[in-house]
Amino acid sequence: MSSNDPEAIRADIERTRAEISNDVNALAEGPTLAGSPAVRSRR
């Protein structure tokens, strides 16, 4: 982190929290069988 400004640090923390939240949500959804190549080839 290159800034010592408390507001810039807070903004960076909030941005990071949002990114982590998106990543966790994507991981929680997990892969879907409908999107797997084996299922698509049977259609």
Residue 34: inside a domain, yes or no? yes
pLDDT in the model for residue 43: 54
Domain of residue 19 covers 6-41
Residue 20: inside a domain, yes or no? yes
Residue 29: inside a domain, yes or no? yes
Q: HSE-up of 14 (CA within 13 Å, CB side)? A: 6
Structure tokens at 14: 């909030």
CA pair distance 1, 14, nearest whole angstrom: 14
Residue 1: inside a domain, yes or no? no
Residue 13: inside a domain, yes or no? yes
Residue 24: inside a domain, yes or no? yes
Q: Which residues contact 34 (CB under 8 A, 6 or more apart)?
A: 40
Please write the tens of the pLDDT for every residue from 1-43.
568 999 999 999 999 999 999 999 988 988 766 666 665 565 5
pLDDT in the model for residue 29: 86
Residue 27: inside a domain, yes or no? yes
